[in-house]
Structure 1
Amino acid sequence: MTYLFAINPVSGGRDKSDWEEAIRAYFADLPHTAHLFHLNGQTDDELIRQQIAQHQPDRVVAVGGDGTLKSVATQLLGTGMPLGLLPAGSANGMARELGIPPDAAGSLDVLVNGTPKAIDVISVNDDICLHLSDIGLNARVVMHYQQNNWRGMFGYVRAVLKALRKRRLLQVEINLGDVCVQRAALMVVLANARMYGTGAVINPDGDLSDGQFEVVVFRRLSVWEIIKLFWRYKPFNAKHIEIFPATSITVSTRRKAYFQVDGEYRGRVGEVNARVLPGALQVLMPAL
């Protein structure tokens, strides 16, 4: 079996040489072939397609965080080719969601002995979302984090504090097809998964393979509740959020809102259109 490893050398602000050494050592005595290449952050889509065409792998592996996973997944949608993950980023939300061990040995074992499973993907505006997309407060945090090139948890804390100083409620209209609701909210999340990369659970009943996603509306919260939003490791009080299951939606705002998809800031938008793509991606998960 042939494995192709797409390595993001800068994800999480950490050197990946230890991961590369672990990959080579793990496959040294196995009857498999491992090809490694580096992403450059400029022509990643083209580079991934080129490497896949050149090596014809049986499995493609993203080595990095959620952004790296997203880049590789985009090239594998609808192909049936299994996608693996080595969680080498700063926020490894999908690794948590999929139950991928955080260490090299454990996550490498999933690549060889794990089970492929079809998961849903959300088509959102001109993008795809594997994990979580949102407008409002968290998207503003992502903007500060990226535009200031802050790294690690300390950088994330700085971004949260900066966003809190200028937080404001959004006036939103959510069209679910059979019902339309209007709300004042700090943020609206399109959740394919259950939790953010920090471990904060916002969608406790989320399922990556149920053919739908959830629209999570965060209403007026205190500063302390907002802080818990980013670091609390259990579901939030239902009094402060509403959750609507959906297969397609349109979210409109009176004023343009900060918008992010899978941890990547996408600018300010006045409308978000989303629909689920059931079972569009095969991912490698730990064997039961």
Structure 2
Amino acid sequence: MTYIHFIINPISGSGKHNLAASYILQHFPASEYQIAVDYTNHKTHAVELTKAAVKQNPDYIVACGGDGTINEVASCLVNTRIILGIIPVGSGNGLASNLNIPRNFKKAIDIIKKGKTTFMDVGKINDFYFFSNMGIGIDALIIKKYERSGNRTLSSYVKAALSSSFQYKAKQAIISFEDQKIEVNPFMLFISNSNEMGYNMSLTPKASLSDGLLDMVIIPELSFIEKLLLGFNVLRNTIEKFKKAKHYLVNEVHIKMPQKIYIDAQIDGEQYNIKTNIINVRILPKALKVLV
């Protein structure tokens, strides 16, 4: 008998996804499956619920939410035997899209029932894991404004991006990787494991979840016109045409921001305030097993 533990974020996306235990139980016969369902009720609650579920030794733990919920669940499963499942009900759903997991509940459940798995790489920034991407440039401010808007829609994201483009002030960053050292005031410093950010947009369209490398994009301070051009290219998924965006493949990056005390970051589309001005970002190859 397969034991599957579902963790549902009831307010993911618009909060109107209607995914509930009653629906899940309809699709998993009691003669074949042992099913448990928990609901989150605050940020980081999925971490608590997943840690408790891990003690029950399930075969799969399924994150039902957006990239933030998936991050909380998956962070507890890195380098364990428990397999991550995903039912995407968030707003952006970047990681699920990269894994070809559809938003249709029935189709996502079919993937879980088939039990096909693969190993994926995991990113780590200091003590935090990321599975899709992280950033410490303007995207961190965009996410901060986006979360405060209380409205998880593409239009809210665009509004947050436009507002942030006028407000964001780039600070010095010293970036070291392999034999390179770059000093720059980054408008964007974005490191990705996935080929999509969410909303079908990407800064790293060639990124792979299983190549043992992270894709880093560094964009220096920009003029007003350059900011508009960057936004146009991001929306059209033509970032390779934006000449000021420099792309690097890395397995470890050391970043120091001497003008800061703490570093604001976005990690898998959620805001974090990292209590240091030095961060180390690295890849953990094939550290998570996921249903696909």
**TM value normalised by structure 2:** 0.89
Measure the CA separation in 1 of the matches of 2:199 and 2:229. 15
Amino acid at match of 1:47: L
Contact 1:200–1:235 (CA under 8 A) maintained in structure 2: no
Unaligned runs of 5+ in 2: none
1:273 to 270, 275, 280: 280
Q: Secondary structure at the match of 1:224?
A: helix
Moved more, 237-246 or 91-100: 237-246
| Structure 1 segments unaligned to the other structure (5+ residues) | none
User: What is the correspondence of 1:136-285 to structure 2 with a 5 Å cutoff?
Assistant: 136-219=137-220, 220=222, 222-228=226-232, 230-237=234-241, 239-256=243-260, 258-267=264-273, 270-285=277-292
For these two proteins, the number of residue pairs brought into alignment is: 284
Q: Following TM superposition, by how much is the alpha carbon of 1:174 offset from its aligned partner in structure 2, in angstroms?
A: 1.2
* Change in CA separation of 1:185 and 1:46 when aligned onto 2, cut-off 3 Å: closer
SS in 2 for 1:45: helix
Read off the aligned partner of 1:202 and give its amino acid letter: L
CA contact (8 A) 1:64 1:89 kept: yes
CA distance in structure 2 between the partners assigned to 1:164 and 1:223 by the alignment: 7
The one-letter amino acid of 2:46's match is D
1:3 equivalent to 2:4? Answer yes
Give the direction of change, closer, same or farther, for the CA distance of 1:89–1:149 in structure 2 (3 Å limit): same
CA apart distance, 1:30: 7.1
What amino acid is the match of 1:206? A
Conservation of the 8 A alpha-carbon contact between 2:203 and 2:237: no
Cα separation, 1, equivalents of 2:237 and 2:147: 24
Secondary structure of 2:195 counterpart: coil
| Equivalent position to 1:51, from 50, 53, 61 | 53
SS at match of 1:12: coil
Please state how far the C-alpha of 1:161 moved relative to its aligned partner: 2.1
CA–CA distance in 1 between the matches of 2:259 and 2:88? 36
Q: Secondary structure at the match of 2:229?
A: helix
Query: What is the aligned-residue RMSD (CA, Å)?
Result: 2.2
Following the alignment from structure 1 to structure 2, what is the Cα–Cα distance between the partners of residues 271 and 9? Answer: 35
Paired letter, 2:132 = H
Question: Greater CA deviation, 180-189 or 275-284?
Answer: 180-189
Q: Which moved more, 1:219-228 or 1:107-116?
A: 219-228
Match of 2:135 in 1: 134
**Which amino acid counterpart does residue 248 of structure 1 have in structure 2?**
E
- The percentage of aligned residue pairs carrying the same residue is 27
Judged with a 3 Å threshold, the aligned counterparts in structure 2 of structure 1 residues 61 and 27 are, in CA distance, closer, same or farther, namely same
Q: Measure the CA separation in 2 of the matches of 1:172 and 1:234.
A: 26
CA shift for structure 1 position 90:
1.0
Structure-2 separation of matches of 1:172 and 1:45 = 31
Residue deviations 1:216-263, cap 9 Å, x none? 112336232232355223443151311111111112234335311111
Distance 1:25 1:231 in 2: 39
Match of 1:228, as an amino acid?
F
Match of 2:290, SS? strand
Structure 2 Cα separation of the partners of residues 231 and 28 of structure 1: 43
1:198 offset after TM fit, Å?
2.0
Distance 1:157 1:21 in 2: 36
Matches within 5 A, 1:2-41: 2-18=3-19, 20-28=21-29, 31-41=32-42
Residue aligned with 2:82, SS = coil
**Structure 1 stretch 22-31 or stretch 138-147: which is displaced more?**
22-31
**Contact 1:170–1:187 (CA under 8 A) maintained in structure 2:** no
Q: Decide whether the 8 Å contact of 1:199 with 1:232 is kept in 2.
A: no
Q: TM-score of the superposition, structure 1-length normalised?
A: 0.90
